[in-house]
Structure 1
Amino acid sequence: MALSEKTIDIIQSTVPVLEVHGVTITSVFYKNMFRNHPELLNIFNHANQSQGRQQTALANMVYAAAKNIDQLENVLPAVKQVAHKHRGLGVKPEHYPIVGEHLLGAIKEVLGDAATDEIINAWAEAYGVIAQVFIDVEADMYKTSEEQPGGWEGFKELKVIDKVKESDVITSFYLKAKDGKGLPAFEPGQYITVRLHIPGEKYALNRQYSLSCAPGHDYYRISVKKEADHEPFGKVSNYLHEKVNVGDTIEASVPAGDFTLNMKETAPVAFISGGVGLTPFMSMLETLVKKDSKRDITFIHSARHEGVHAFGEDVKNMTEKLENGRFFYGYENPADQHGGHHFSGYITKEFLEKHIAKDTICYVCGPVPFLKSAVLMLKDLGIAESNIRYEFFGPAINLQMDKTAV
């Protein structure tokens, strides 16, 4: 359904207001929606709510949609990224009217008399179009995930066949289907959504974890960082580390995500990670090794100290198998460094300039401060924006660069 010129003009006139009040509107939206539909707490990540990241991500999405309301194809990449998360979580078409009702209500509540009937009606019309874009994209994703070999609908029980401590804070879980059937293929860099029913918790808890092994195994592997044990951030990771053991089962949905390695590209590639952000790169690196890639491949990892540095030997062994592979690591305290592949302290622009050529495709993943720093340094070095690819764990936020990350 095409929007009228009048509706487009009204929506675009609200862009400055959304820039100022967007997060307030989305915060009111979530509060009211969960009060009236608490069952949706089985889908949403409670930790992201408490941190404000979900509210910020939605505000960015609404702002971007309003700004591009006459050319929604401009936000399609962002739509697809969010749609992957929705498909993994089980967001369905019947949820969109609920969202629409409470989003319009929040706009009215926050803006008061400034939200005239004309503005609310225009947004109702625009929301219908935007929601349909999501519904259509997600319908294709659901169909693909269910109909592919080994695929399934919704969540399925996976059995833990091995549990391996990778560092002081990261533990890997090897998973196979409890029913003995094969697992669907995935692209290196994708994640699965894990759903846990933790004793004492009223609602299911969902978390999305990157697959840390290459496709082609008869198992999945996720590598989970044990977060600080206080509400609500470490609830799921602590439960996995402390309570879930070999022989136990967890629920998961089919792999999803668009932060993936493009195997058709031949340009130099660099993987730049901080902390547990290296997990999708373990899948990408192993894939390149299995394919006997001749690409120039650089693996750069930053960790707080040696005790929390996971997969160090694995990365060393894999890069040594590559014709043009190299790896570097660094810790917060330069005194902790040893060996010939380290850099002192934090990743610097000078270090990146020395080891990364201008035509390198750079994949970046890690905590938000690390991500922001690394991406901005790469931009300053003249790496093309199309060659800087980054992944957020959780809802994406605005990196305050030239584009809105949603």
Structure 2
Amino acid sequence: MLSDKQKEIILSTVPLLREGGVALTTHFYNRMFTHHPELKNLFNMGNQQSGKQQTALALAVLAYAENISNPAVLMPAVDLIGHKHTSLNIQPEQYEIVGMHLLASIKEVLQDLATDEVLDAWKAAYGQLAQLMIGHEAKMYQDKEQTVGQWVGWKNFVVQRKEKESTEITSFYLVTEDGSEAPNFIPGQFVSVKVFLPGINLTQIRQYSISCAPNKNYLRISVKRERNEKLDVNGMISNFLHDEVHEGSVLSLSAPAGNFTLQNLFSKKVFISGGIGQTPLLSMLEYLEDTSDKNELVWIHACRNADVRAFSDSIDSIAETNVRLKQHQFYDVVDETLAEKGVYKGMLDFSKIDKWQFESNAEYYICGPKPFIEKAVKELTENKVSEEHIFYEEFGPKSI
């Protein structure tokens, strides 16, 4: 239990964390991987390479320090991280490793500023946070063990079918190797996929949104091929799935997880996606199409051009048979004559949509790159849409 004096000490380190948090977390990761190189198989080395993970941890440590007197306000973040951790099968002993190297890094980076009092306070603070996380994740693991069709750890799935959705995106239809039913899940959730990359001699784990509605037959993930010449580890995994995983291949999957899911606030749902960000929203759309005839639905998608747009036939088919669905498409390059068909030129711009209104009594679901999400959220909130009605998923470490 943190004393009031220790809380004061933690708060006194907030300016240091604001100024040098990334330097601290960078030192921490380097130190931990030096002593425990096996953890490179667990951590996302692509996000390590880009610096995203170091930044995300620095922001998390700062948020914890700023709210040290009332860590309960961080429970939404704790739940989000818990979903990610249980999908990676994180265990309590790994918190001990992280704590040891985080405290050592504080001492090594802050040097004379890391007095015994500061170190003792942060030791107590980390212990408090670790117990909060471990307890929350223990309940999540217990729920998985007690839910029919769920599991803890890894389960083998067979690639039943590969289907090209666009010039960049391919879907993988996955069935259980043991012949059991596909697991149930909440639309919007993801699974972790574990693969070995010979090129870097490491096992890596990535999360992919489930892109179909729940059914008893299969899970579907849809993966974008990366064409950047300077391919990072994240791109290597996506391309490995495209190039090396074929129909009949076996993949190790975690049970579905994630809290970016459909709510039940209003009957109107607005789905706003950029690029591959449409995958969790497609799961939601297909689910609502299968289970409800009372929702008013709006589908807004932005991508570079028609060639890279995935699932166009599926969404067009739903729109043709469902008068409750209105569809709007943005392309970087487009023939202006297509505007009559709900196709617009340029980046997402609500003002271009015919008869568009920002409605307060609607749910808004947003997924895509960070700048895309930030722009959409900014426009919605500036037009009197409550933040409580806006839900978004940022792929990768959280930075928004």
Do they superpose with TM above 0.5?
A: yes
2:148 is the counterpart of 1:146: no
Q: Is the 8 A contact 1:163 1:173 kept in 2?
A: yes
Secondary structure of the residue aligned to 1:233 is helix
- Identity over the aligned pairs, expressed in percent? 43
2:330 is the counterpart of 1:344: no
Query: Structure 1 residues 340, 355: closer, same or farther in 2, change over 3 A?
Result: farther
User: Aligned to 1:366, which of 359, 365, 368?
Assistant: 368
Shift of 1:113: 0.8
Q: Which residue of 2 aligns with 1:404?
A: none
Alpha-carbon distance in structure 2 between the residues aligned to 1:323 and 1:292: 13
Secondary structure of the residue aligned to 2:205 is strand
Shift of 1:27: 0.9
Instruction: Name the stretch that deviates more: 213-222 or 121-130.
Output: 213-222
Q: TM-score, normalised by structure 2?
A: 0.95
Q: Which residue of 1 aligns with 2:124?
A: 125
Q: Deviations over 1:152-180 (max 9, x none)?
A: 22111100001000000000000011111
2:398 is the counterpart of 1:396: yes
Instruction: Name the stretch that deviates more: 73-82 or 102-111.
Output: 102-111
Q: Which residue of 2 aligns with 1:242?
A: 243
Q: Which residue of 2 aligns with 1:92?
A: 91
Secondary structure of the residue aligned to 1:197 is strand
Q: Is the 8 A contact 1:329 1:342 kept in 2?
A: yes
Q: Is the 8 A contact 1:299 1:327 kept in 2?
A: yes
RMSD: 1.6
Q: Which residue of 2 aligns with 1:169?
A: 168
Alpha-carbon distance in structure 2 between the residues aligned to 1:364 and 1:347: 12
Within a 5 Å distance, the mapping from 1:7-18 to structure 2 comes to 7-18=6-17
Alpha-carbon distance in structure 2 between the residues aligned to 1:115 and 1:374: 42
Q: Which residue of 1 aligns with 2:101?
A: 102
Instruction: Name the stretch that deviates more: 238-247 or 11-20.
Output: 11-20
Secondary structure of the residue aligned to 1:103 is helix
Give the total of aligned pairs.
396
Shift of 1:268: 1.8
Shift of 1:388: 1.3
Shift of 1:59: 1.0
Q: Deviations over 1:224-281 (max 9, x none)?
A: 001135232311111111111111111110001000012x333421110000000001
Instruction: Name the stretch that deviates more: 74-83 or 284-293.
Output: 284-293
Q: Is the 8 A contact 2:182 2:216 kept in 1?
A: no
Instruction: Name the stretch that deviates more: 67-76 or 290-299.
Output: 290-299
Q: Is the 8 A contact 2:89 2:152 kept in 1?
A: no
Within a 5 Å distance, the mapping from 1:6-405 to structure 2 comes to 6-228=5-227, 230-262=231-263, 264-335=264-335, 338=338, 340-351=341-352, 354-397=356-399, 399=400
Q: Deviations over 1:281-324 (max 9, x none)?
A: 11000011011231221110000111100011211222344342
Alpha-carbon distance in structure 2 between the residues aligned to 1:256 and 1:154: 12
Q: Is the 8 A contact 1:192 1:208 kept in 2?
A: yes
Shift of 1:374: 1.3
Alpha-carbon distance in structure 2 between the residues aligned to 1:206 and 1:336: 42
Secondary structure of the residue aligned to 2:180 is coil
1:290 aligned partner, one-letter code: D
Q: Is the 8 A contact 1:270 1:356 kept in 2?
A: no
Alpha-carbon distance in structure 2 between the residues aligned to 1:203 and 1:75: 33
Q: Deviations over 1:51-76 (max 9, x none)?
A: 11111111111111111111111000
Query: Structure 1 residues 337, 315: closer, same or farther in 2, change over 3 A?
Result: farther
Q: Is the 8 A contact 2:182 2:215 kept in 1?
A: no
Unaligned runs of 5+ in 1: 400-406
Query: Structure 1 residues 371, 378: closer, same or farther in 2, change over 3 A?
Result: same
Q: Deviations over 1:186-212 (max 9, x none)?
A: 000000000001334422111100000
Runs ≥4 residues deviating over 3 A: 319-323, 334-337
Q: Is the 8 A contact 1:294 1:323 kept in 2?
A: no
Alpha-carbon distance in structure 2 between the residues aligned to 1:5 and 1:38: 38
Query: Structure 1 residues 108, 321: closer, same or farther in 2, change over 3 A?
Result: farther
Q: Is the 8 A contact 1:155 1:251 kept in 2?
A: yes
Alpha-carbon distance in structure 2 between the residues aligned to 1:288 and 1:280: 13
Shift of 1:133: 0.6
Alpha-carbon distance in structure 2 between the residues aligned to 1:193 and 1:389: 21
Shift of 1:40: 0.8
Alpha-carbon distance in structure 1 between the residues aligned to 2:19 and 2:319: 47
1:380 aligned partner, one-letter code: E
Q: Which residue of 2 aligns with 1:403?
A: none
Secondary structure of the residue aligned to 2:192 is strand
Shift of 1:337: 6.8
